[in-house]
Structure 1
Amino acid sequence: MPAKQAGPRRAHTLRDAVAGLGGAISSIPDGMACGLLAGVNPVYGLYASSSGAFFGGLATSTPLMVVTTTSAAALATGSALESVPAQNRDSALILLTILGGLLMWAAAALRVARYTRFISHSVMIGFLTGISATILISQIPTMIGVSTSGPSAFAKALDLVTELGHIDLASLVCGALALTVVGVLGRTRFVALGALGAIAIPSVIVFFPWFDDVAQVRETGDLPTGLPMPEIPELSLLTPELIAGAASVALIVLVQGVGVRESVPEPSRRPNAVSRDFSAQGLANVASGFFQGMPVGGSVSATSLNIALGARTRWAAVFRGVFVLVLVLVAGGLIGRVPMPALAALLIYAAVMSIRPREIVSVFRAGGIGRVTLLITALATLLLPVATAVGVGVALSLVLQLNRDSIDMRIVELEPTDDGGLRELDPPIVLHSDHVTVLDVYGSLLYAGAHNFANQLPSAADRVVVVLRLRGRVTVGVTFMKALVEYARRLDERGGHLYVSGVDPVLMSRYREKVGLPPCITVVEAESVLGRSTLHAFDEGTRWLAAQRDSPDEE
């Protein structure tokens, strides 16, 4: 059998190359804008766009995913670098990017990606809405030529109100022109050229005398004109704040990467596919850091554009990374002339387009705790550093999950019918003496669910048998097992017995070894026919009760 081809297929090479070129053109303004958002030289965003797409494209399990700069990761980066002195910020950026990549590798190895499903939808919508609002607040001053300060986005917004009387008209014209160009072209088939036109046209008009004072990229620092050379991070700059920032970037990239997988056609269904995608993003970040870039991650917008441009394989992203570097080398001298208000306008446009009004409305219509969670997460993003806001979101998701476990858990009674089936009834508050009661459990039996289970169990009576159905449970916690044993002992003290039916044999043998099961619990293992083990337990319990009635009472 011929060996599997490692390089691009000929049939797809031209399509992938065209898609890569179109993506590279859009990456130039996007990468520079993300560098601006992170508060570093925009060239770092360009180098990241090249390294991220190239190395990420080679390694992902989602072939059409594009790993590049993202607004959310850039904002988290800027927040982590705020306390770093200006003269150390470039070196700290490299260290942050590499550290974030290493944390992504560790998370992939530990299969952390599978836990992203526990992050509440309302938390994610609130966080993304807060991110969009923060970008708007941070970039409007640059677009209109004023400066603001404050410890949070909310404080900067208040400061912006006081500066509205000092708007620089030339900067406002540049920003408005960029917004118009990207807004118009973004609705046409020339969407790939929209962002490029939004910086190219304002870059031409700054040559006119009236625009001499408009801030330009070259004022942010020296702009390299050659290939990015590998750079070793300065470990002396490692601080707890930088580690927290790298962790928040890693978490944001993880969640966004999962979203990208779901947005592409026919994503890989292999069990380890999500972890491999996250590992690939870790590789892209380590490479980006070594080659003087900023943090990168799976981008929904870049991936959507990649698909729209006709990409067929992963080599479209690889071509994209190569073309970005070529464009930087060819047009590097012109990058310094790009007006900062134009880049700010691009970020404002991206922030507005990333707001999801329909999903926000759906969460509010659903009401309840989801609405409160969305508001809390959005406000936390506006009022707190991004790393802290991410922590608040994760904590809220955990609380919501535990609350859901507790609410969803309920106990029902199953009554055997004449035709061999089981009828569902409300459970009794107190068990009936000399009676076999079959109980089934819905919902989670972990954490709060286990405590709720213990509270909902019917009170014991004299000489009763309880059959508890656990069909389909592949894992139960120690808290549940403790509640189960205590309930069995209460039944035993009053001359009763507990049967547990439908139990996975591997699960129960594990708990026999680790916890130990007392004699007052009888386990009936699951059978292939649904309900059969429960009916067997019911019959055994009935015979057990009859034997207790026939046996002489002890004096």
Structure 2
Amino acid sequence: MRPERRNLRADVVAGIPNAITNIPDGMASAVLAGINPVHGLYASLAGPLIGGLGVSTRLMVISTTGAGSVSTGSAVAGVSVQDRAATVAVLTLLAGAFMIIAGIFRLGRYTRFVSQSVMLGFLTGIAVNIVLGQLSDLTGAPVAGGTTVTRAIGVLAHPGRWDAASVGAGLVALLLLVLVNRTRASLAGSLVAIAVPTVVVVLVGWHTVARVGDAGEVAHGLPVPRLPELARFSPELLADAAALAAIILVQGAIVSQAAPNQETRADPSQDFTAQGAANVVSGLVAGMPVGASVGQTALNVASGARSRWAVIWGSVWMTAIMVGCWWLMRYVVVPTLAAILIYAAVTSLRQRELTTILRTGWNSRIALVATFLATLFLPVAVAVGIGVILSLVLQLNQEAIDLRGVRLVPEESGRFIETRSPARLPDRTVTILDIYGSLFYAGSRTLEARLPDPRGSVRPVVVLRLRGRTTLGSTFFAVISDYADRIEAAGGRLYLTGIAPELAAQIRQPGHRELTGNALLYASSPVVGASTLEAYNDATTWLVDPRH
């Protein structure tokens, strides 16, 4: 935790671009959530400071994010503008509590169950939502409609409602972002895009262009921590907070995997706790939800950060800027913030990854498209639920489909040759089967359908190899018990080999005989294939002389 002298200079310098970019990003994120931009600044101050102290991914930046901002806006869309900031503070506090609980219970390992296709579909839907949602602020046109898509259509269908000055300011900001970000001054691209149009609008006196100060008074100085208005709590807000926490945590796990972490491995659960603490503090200072930021983390790495203290120094620099220049924020024109959001959303689209997923199997395509459409047309909490459920369903479906059985034919040398599994068991022959894939309940039912049929066979013998299986569920035992009975009815036997010693001891306990029916069990040994070869020799002897 302590800063090291050898990293001090690099971290102090790296904190400057972090602070510079956090100011416009924080303001734009608040606009995206439908609240006064100052609340985004408070979050951008608290998130890096508190999160930076606790994350295991030391170069990861905890700040406002597009996904979190859209989710926040969706959660408070039905709240009046006057009460929205107070409700967001409570939402942030609740989301932080969920994240801390997830970290305490070490739930970081479960993020792997959310597929890349689902997460990419969600982030793509968020990006499109951001672009469509900012058309009103970019053009200065009034909006009406139930969803982002319908509101965007309303803006585009009525260009006569556009304010020419607002459109001009927004387009100039977009042009400056594109041009400046191609130069060495790219770190200041957002500030330039805000400053130039704002100065022109103020000097010319275009009063039709919306400004940050129009949304409410910009608070002087730093926020004072205080408990949010808990009277804003509702069951619906609690559900939105849980969905928001899930979004932030999964995205954080993805950012953590991409961020370098010298000498140590990142701990997702510790990162959960750090993000939770950052959100709790953000809620206490009237901020909005924060999470691992893809862009800010990439900038932190590119700026030469050496340790977590680069992020903390960024908060120190940002504090100095807010204390000294707070009065300038009221003049910032809103179309420039819309331009920043649109530019960030467009540049966040992962075209190469999208193309790769669309070229893979149907499962990935379905997950991508379904999550994208759900994010575009449904509340974010519902879209997240659909995405998580879809991930689990596709995982189970893929496990069931991927299950495959092969036949092993022994050689005189003691090795086995892998061949195709027969559809029907041959007469008076020992058939060794090996199974690839999951034997979880869906896989067990697939195994049941793909096992060779003993009907009509005479004294068939099956040796089923189960090496590497540490647990076997009730569905598997039901399938195997029934298969053993069917083989016995044909005058044959079923042998189960390679079973973990602990599992074999459990099955052999009194009263557990019904788990495998009349099957014979052979525990695994350190020698691969030894128990299978032993069962094969015993089965061959039994076929010759049934008394054995």
TM-score between both structures, scaled by the size of structure 1: 0.93
Distance in 2, Cα, partners of 1:309 & 1:515: 66
Tell whether the 8 Å contact from 1:175 to 1:344 is kept in structure 2 after alignment: yes
1:541 maps to what in 2? 539
Q: 2:202 is paired with a residue of what secondary structure?
A: coil
Match of 1:498 among 485, 494, 500: 494
Distance in 1, Cα, partners of 2:473 & 2:107: 20
Q: 1:391 is paired with a residue of what secondary structure?
A: helix
Match of 1:381 among 375, 379, 399: 375
Verify: 1:350 aligned to 2:344, yes or no. yes
One-letter amino acid of the structure 1 residue matched with residue 204 of structure 2: P
Match of 1:479 among 475, 479, 492: 475
1:419 maps to what in 2? 413
Q: 1:208 is paired with a residue of what secondary structure?
A: helix
2:462 maps to what in 1? 466
Verify: 1:158 aligned to 2:153, yes or no. yes
Tell whether the 8 Å contact from 1:464 to 1:545 is kept in structure 2 after alignment: no
Gaps in structure 1 of 5+ consecutive residues? 1-5
Tell whether the 8 Å contact from 1:21 to 1:320 is kept in structure 2 after alignment: yes
Deviation by residue 1:208-231 (Cα, 9 ceiling, x = unmatched): 234222101111122211221112
Verify: 1:433 aligned to 2:445, yes or no. no
One-letter amino acid of the structure 2 residue matched with residue 212 of structure 1: H
Distance in 2, Cα, partners of 1:221 & 1:505: 70
1:94 maps to what in 2? 89
Instruction: Please tell me the root mean square deviation across aligned C-alpha atoms, in Å.
Output: 2.0
Match of 1:265 among 260, 265, 282: 260
Tell whether the 8 Å contact from 1:170 to 1:210 is kept in structure 2 after alignment: no
Distance in 2, Cα, partners of 1:184 & 1:65: 27
Q: Which one is further off, 279-288 or 340-349?
A: 279-288
One-letter amino acid of the structure 1 residue matched with residue 469 of structure 2: R
1:117 maps to what in 2? 112
Distance 1:472 1:322, change over 3 A: same
2:281 maps to what in 1? 287
Match of 2:269 among 255, 272, 275: 275
Q: 2:439 is paired with a residue of what secondary structure?
A: coil
Verify: 1:108 aligned to 2:106, yes or no. no
2:299 maps to what in 1? 305
1:186 maps to what in 2? 181
Tell whether the 8 Å contact from 1:225 to 1:332 is kept in structure 2 after alignment: yes
Distance in 2, Cα, partners of 1:514 & 1:342: 75
Distance 1:479 1:94, change over 3 A: same
Distance 1:219 1:514, change over 3 A: farther
Within a 5 Å distance, the mapping from 1:510-521 to structure 2 comes to: 510=506, 516-518=512-514, 520-521=518-519
Distance in 1, Cα, partners of 2:146 & 2:512: 55
Distance 1:317 1:93, change over 3 A: same
Deviation by residue 1:349-383 (Cα, 9 ceiling, x = unmatched): 00000111222222223353432332222111111
2:79 maps to what in 1? 84
One-letter amino acid of the structure 2 residue matched with residue 526 of structure 1: S
Verify: 1:214 aligned to 2:209, yes or no. yes
Match of 1:69 among 56, 61, 64: 64
Distance 1:436 1:155, change over 3 A: same
Q: Which one is further off, 380-389 or 362-371?
A: 362-371
Deviation by residue 1:371-428 (Cα, 9 ceiling, x = unmatched): 2332222111111111111112112212211221111011111111121111111112
1:526 maps to what in 2? 524
The alpha carbon displacement at 1:98 in A equals 1.0
Within a 5 Å distance, the mapping from 1:325-344 to structure 2 comes to: 325-344=319-338
Match of 1:25 among 20, 23, 43: 20
One-letter amino acid of the structure 2 residue matched with residue 191 of structure 1: S
Within a 5 Å distance, the mapping from 1:218-237 to structure 2 comes to: 218-237=213-232
Verify: 1:359 aligned to 2:357, yes or no. no
1:53 maps to what in 2? 48
2:236 maps to what in 1? 241
Tell whether the 8 Å contact from 2:213 to 2:331 is kept in structure 1 after alignment: yes
Q: Which one is further off, 444-453 or 201-210?
A: 201-210
1:3 maps to what in 2? none
Distance 1:202 1:440, change over 3 A: same
Match of 2:126 among 115, 131, 140: 131
Q: 2:95 is paired with a residue of what secondary structure?
A: helix
How many residues are aligned here? 544
Distance in 2, Cα, partners of 1:467 & 1:109: 45
Deviation by residue 1:483-537 (Cα, 9 ceiling, x = unmatched): 2222223323444332221222234445566992446233222222222221122
Distance 1:504 1:439, change over 3 A: same
2:246 maps to what in 1? 251
Tell whether the 8 Å contact from 2:65 to 2:291 is kept in structure 1 after alignment: yes
Tell whether the 8 Å contact from 1:61 to 1:268 is kept in structure 2 after alignment: no
Distance in 2, Cα, partners of 1:169 & 1:51: 37
Distance 1:95 1:509, change over 3 A: farther
Distance in 2, Cα, partners of 1:439 & 1:245: 49
Tell whether the 8 Å contact from 1:143 to 1:171 is kept in structure 2 after alignment: yes
Distance in 1, Cα, partners of 2:26 & 2:510: 54
Tell whether the 8 Å contact from 2:171 to 2:339 is kept in structure 1 after alignment: yes
Distance in 2, Cα, partners of 1:487 & 1:235: 60
One-letter amino acid of the structure 2 residue matched with residue 500 of structure 1: L
Q: 1:523 is paired with a residue of what secondary structure?
A: strand
Distance in 2, Cα, partners of 1:510 & 1:247: 39
Distance 1:82 1:278, change over 3 A: same
Q: Which one is further off, 156-165 or 244-253?
A: 156-165
Distance in 2, Cα, partners of 1:381 & 1:164: 27
Distance in 1, Cα, partners of 2:186 & 2:500: 55
TM-score between both structures, scaled by the size of structure 2: 0.95
Distance 1:140 1:465, change over 3 A: same
Match of 1:148 among 143, 150, 173: 143
Q: What percent of counterpart residues are identical? A: 45
Distance in 2, Cα, partners of 1:85 & 1:373: 35
Distance 1:169 1:268, change over 3 A: farther
Distance in 1, Cα, partners of 2:179 & 2:247: 30
Tell whether the 8 Å contact from 2:163 to 2:208 is kept in structure 1 after alignment: no
Q: 2:398 is paired with a residue of what secondary structure?
A: helix
Q: Which one is further off, 186-195 or 40-49?
A: 186-195
